[in-house]
Amino acid sequence: MASVTVNNITKHYGKKKELTQALRGVSFTVEQGELFGIIGPDGAGKTSLFRILTTLLLPDAGAASVDGLDVVKDFKAIRQRVGYMPGRFSLYQDLTIEENLEFFATIFNTSVSENYDLIKDIYSQIEPFKKRRAGKLSGGMKQKLALCCALIHKPSVLFLDEPTTGVDAVSRKEFWEMLRNLKKQGISILVSTPYMDEASMCDRVALIQNGSILSVDSPEGVIASFKQPLVAVKDRNMLPLLNHLQAFEGTQDVYPFGEYHHVVLKDGYSAAEVSTYLQHQHAQAEVQPVRADIEDCFIALMKSA
Amino acid sequence: MKQFISFVKKEFYHIARDKRTLFILLGMPIMQILIFGFALTNEVKNARVAIFDQSKDLATQALRSELDASRYFDITQDVHTYSEIEAAFKKGTIKLAVVFPENFANDLDHFNTAQVQLIADASDPNVANTLTNYATAIVLDYQDRITNNRRLPYTIKTEMRMLYNPQLKGAYSFVPGVMAMVLMLVCTLMTAITIVREKESGTMEIMLVSPMRPFKIVVAKAVPYLLLSVVNITSILLLSVFVLDVPINGSLLLLIFESILFTLTCLAFGLLISTRTDSQQTAMFIALTGMFLPTIMLSGFMFPIENMPLPLRILSNIVPAKWFYYIVKEVMIKGLGISAVWKETLILTGMLLFLLLLSIRNFKIRLA
C-alpha cells in the first residue's frame, strides 16, 4: 500500500496582484517503508508541500492522502500518526533536552520508555547533555533532539523538512545514516533538502523546481536518464574559459561546477573535440569525460522544462 | 488529562525560567500599590504658605496659629509687601499666600466684618482649589468660635459626613483601580504574548500536528496566568489592608470570586488577540491600546465617567474594567453583597462568554 499519495496538488499564496504560485499540479507516491527525497532549491515549494501533507495548509486543488487518510477530511487522524520536523528548529529553547522529549512524548499520548528502542541510537548521542537547555545546543545536537521528538510516538510516516540545512558536513552524514536505520523499522520517511549530493542517500527522489516536479525516480534512474556526453574542464583562468566553451559549436550547455566547468555536449561530440578546440587559447586546460550526477541532471531537467 | 497537565507544567517552566518577566509580573502589583499609596496622591499635605500680616493683632495671630496647626499647611515665610508674595510665587517656594489687611481685629470688633485675602497658585487648579477650600474652612471655624459668644439671629449650619471613607483617603478609590489594571495587564497581555510566541518560534506548528486539541492548548496556556493572578490579587489585598489601611468591608469570598471572573474575562480577551495576530509586537500593541488605555481612561478609576460626553459614557460600557471597578468598590469599600452587584456580575459573565466564544471560533487549526 502506498504510504503517501499526492495527486495534482496546487497551492498559491496572496491575492490576484501579488500571486505566488507555490505548487503547480504536483503528483507522486511514496511506498510503505520508503526513504523518499524531495530535492530542489529554496523557494521550489518543498515546505508548502510538507505543510499540506501534515494538514497544516489546505491545497487549492488536487488531493493527497497519508496512510490512506485524506489530508483535508481526516486531518485529526493524520495528526495522531505522523511525525513532523519543521525546517526551523521548533522545540522549546528554555526547556532541557529531557524535558522537551518527555513533553512531546506526553502530548502524543505515549512515554519515553515505551518507544525508547526507536530513538535509542540517536538519543544516546545527546543523552550526556540531557540537563542542558535546548537553546544552548549546537546545530547538530538540536537536529538530533528534534528528530527524537518527532519519532517518540513511533509515527507511521515521518516528514522532515530540510533537516540538514545549516548543519555541518559530518553531522549531515551521520543524520542520513540515522535515517537509513529508521527505514529498517518500517517507517516511511519524506525528506526535503536543497543539497543535491544527498539525493544518493534516498531510495527515490522527486526533483522539484518552481512548484513543479521535474522527475521522480531512483537516484540511479535519474542519472541514467542523462544521455548527453559530459566533460569537466579546468584551467588557470576560469572566466575566459567559460566564454570560450560557450562559443564552441558542440556545446549544448556549460556551467561552473565546483572547481570545474561542466560542458554538456551535443550528440556526436566528445572530450577529444573539446581538447582540440581549446588547444590555442587554453593549452594547459585539463579536459576529462565525467559521469553526470544529480546536480547535472537537475540542471538539464530545469533547462528543458 | 495527562497531556493537559504536562502542557501546564511546561508553561510553568517557561514562566519560572524567564526570571525578569516573573519578577515584573509579581512585583508590579506591589510596586503600583506602593507608588499609588505613598507617592501619587491628590491629597494636599504640608503646603507651603506665606503670611502677609499688616495688622499683627490678636485675631490674626490666632488665625495664623490655626493655619499652622493644620496638617495641610506649613507657614514657611512672613512677607511684608505684595511684591514679595509675587516673587515667592514665581520662585515656586509657596502654594498659597494669606493676606490680612490693616486693623483686622479692629474691623471685626467694631464693624462686625473683616476681610482676609487668599492668593493661590492656580497653575495647578486642583491644588489651588483644595488649598483655598481648606483655608476658608479654617477661617470659618475660627469665626464660628468667636460668634458662639454672641447670638446671631439666623444661622444655617452644614453638617457633613463622608460615608464609607470618612477620612477621604485616595487609597479607597485606587486600590480597586490598581486591581483592575494589574489583572488586565497580567492576563490579557501575557496570554496574548505567550500564545503568539509559540506561533513565532514555530512550536505551534508542531503542536498543531499532534493529537493535542487546539482548544486544550489554549486553555492550558491560560491556567498558569490565572494562578499568577490569584497570587497578585492576594498580594494587592494584603497590602491594601495592612499597609494602606483600606478595609475589606464586604465578603472576601465574593471579592475573590469577582476578581477571578474579571481575570477570566481578561484571559479570554488575551486569547482573542492571540488568535488574530502573528507577532508579539502586534499582540502587545493591541493589548495595550485595546485594553490598557480604556482601563485607565474609561473605567472611572482616573476620571469620573459621569462628567464625560455621552459617546464616551456609552463607550465605557464595553470596558470590562469599568464593571469590575464598580463591583470592587461596592463590595470592598461599601461592604455590599451580591444583591447589589448581580447586574454587573452578569454583564462581566456575558462579556467572558462572548469573548471566549469568539476566540474559539477564531482559533486556527491550520497555519493559514
Express as a percent the part of chain B with pLDDT over 90.
Answer: 45
Ranges under pLDDT 70 in chain A? none
Residues from chain A that touch B202, judged by Cβ atoms under 8 A, are 86, 88-90
- Sign of the CA dihedral B84, B85, B87, B93? positive
Q: Identify whether the C-beta of residue B244 lies closer than 8 Å to the C-beta of residue B174.
A: no
Q: Is B20 touching A (CB cutoff 8 A)? A: no
Q: In 3D, which of B39, B54, B52, B361 has the Cα closest to residue B174? A: B39
How is residue A92 written as a grid cell? Answer: 522549546
Contacts of residues B86-92 at CB distance under 8 Å and 24 or more positions apart, as own/partner, are B88/B50, B89/B119, B89/B121, B92/B121
Residues from chain B that touch A86, judged by Cβ atoms under 8 A, are 202, 205-206
Residues B211 and B95 in one domain: no
pLDDT value at position A262? 93
The pLDDT tens digits for B243-279 are: 888 889 999 999 999 999 999 999 999 989 998 898 9
pLDDT value at position B339? 93
Q: Cβ of A94 and B14 within 8 Å? A: yes
How many Å lie between the alpha carbon of A108 and the closest alpha carbon of chain B? 6
When comparing pLDDT for B124 and A79, which is higher? A79
Residues B142 and B174 in one domain: no
Rounded Cα distance between B221 and B6, Å, is 11
For residue B328, what are the contacts with CB-CB under 8 A and spacing of at least 6?
B175, B176, B179, B180, B255, B258, B259
Residues B284 and B135 in one domain: no
Q: Residue B19: is its pLDDT beyond 70?
A: yes
At B344, the pLDDT band (50, 70, 90 cuts) reads very high
Residues B214 and B263 in one domain: yes
Q: In 3D, which of B302, B299, B37, B335 has the Cα closest to residue B170? A: B37
The pLDDT tens digits for B193-209 are: 988 999 898 898 999 99
pLDDT value at position B11? 92
Dihedral angle, C-alpha B230, B232, B233, B237, nearest 10 °: 140
Residues B64 and B132 in one domain: yes
Are A2-217 and A230-304 in the same CATH fold?
no
Residues B264 and B223 in one domain: yes
Q: Cβ of B3 and A106 within 8 Å? A: yes
Provide the residue ranges of all domains of chain A, joining segments of one domain with +: 2-217, 230-304
Q: Cβ of A57 and B366 within 8 Å? A: yes
ipTM: 0.84
Q: Cβ of A56 and B205 within 8 Å? A: yes
Nearest-CB residue to A109 (from B3, B208, B366): B3
Cell 521535474 found at: A214
Residues B181 and B197 in one domain: yes
pLDDT value at position B42? 64
Topology of domain A2-217 in CATH is Rossmann fold (3.40.50)
Q: Residue B168: is its pLDDT beyond 80?
A: no
Please indicate, yes or no, if residue B164 is contained in any of the structural domains. no
pLDDT value at position B175? 85
Return the CATH number of the domain spanning residue range A230-304.
3.30.70.2070
Residues from chain B that touch A11, judged by Cβ atoms under 8 A, are none
Q: Considering its fold, how many domains does chain B have in total?
A: 2
Rounded Cα distance between B194 and B11, Å, is 9
Widest distance between CA atoms in chain A: 72
Collapsing DSSP states into helix, strand and coil, what is residue B119?
A: strand
Residues B105 and B194 in one domain: no
Expressed in angstroms, the distance from the first to the final Cα of chain B is 28
Nearest-CB residue to A103 (from B10, B202, B205): B10
Domain extent for B114: 47-147
pLDDT value at position B37? 75
Q: Cβ of B366 and A58 within 8 Å? A: yes
Residues B225 and B289 in one domain: yes
Rounded Cα distance between A168 and A157, Å, is 26
Mean pLDDT of chain B: 88
How is residue B42 written as a grid cell? Answer: 491628590
Rounded Cα distance between A286 and B33, Å, is 82
At B149, the pLDDT band (50, 70, 90 cuts) reads low
pLDDT value at position B323? 94
Q: In 3D, which of B249, B268, B255 has the Cα closest to residue B341? A: B255
Which helix (H) or strand (E) segment is B31 a member of? helix B19-34
Pairing of strands A188-193, A204-209: unpaired
Expressed in angstroms, the distance from the first to the final Cα of chain A is 31
Q: At what angle do helices A169-183 and A139-151 cross, to 10 degrees?
A: 10
Q: Cβ of A109 and B211 within 8 Å? A: yes
Indicate which of A103, A106, A145, A157 best probes the interface with B, i.e. most B CBs within 10 Å of its own CB: A106
Please indicate, yes or no, if residue B342 is contained in any of the structural domains. yes
- CATH code for the domain in which residue B62 is found: 3.40.1710.10
Please indicate, yes or no, if residue B162 is contained in any of the structural domains. no
Question: DSSP letters of chain A?
Answer: -EEEEEEEEEEEES-STT-EEEEEEEEEEEETT-EEEEE--TTSSHHHHHHHHTTSS--SEEEEEETTEETTTTHHHHHHHEEEE-SS--S-TTSBHHHHHHHHHHHTT--TTTTHHHHHHHHHHHGGGTTSBGGGS-HHHHHHHHHHHHHTT--SEEEEESTTTT--HHHHHHHHHHHHHHHTTT-EEEEEES-GGGGGGSSEEEEEETTEEEEEE-HHHHHHT--S-EEEEE-S-HHHHHHHHHH-TTEEEEEEETTEEEEEEPTT--HHHHHHHHTTT-TT-EEEE----HHHHHHHHHHH-
Q: Is A91 touching B (CB cutoff 8 A)? A: yes
At B49, the pLDDT band (50, 70, 90 cuts) reads very high
Pairing of strands B73-78, B47-53: parallel
Rounded Cα distance between A251 and A264, Å, is 6
Residues from chain A that touch B200, judged by Cβ atoms under 8 A, are none
Q: Cβ of A107 and B14 within 8 Å? A: no
Cα B93 from chain centre: 29
pLDDT value at position B150? 67
Residues B198 and B335 in one domain: yes
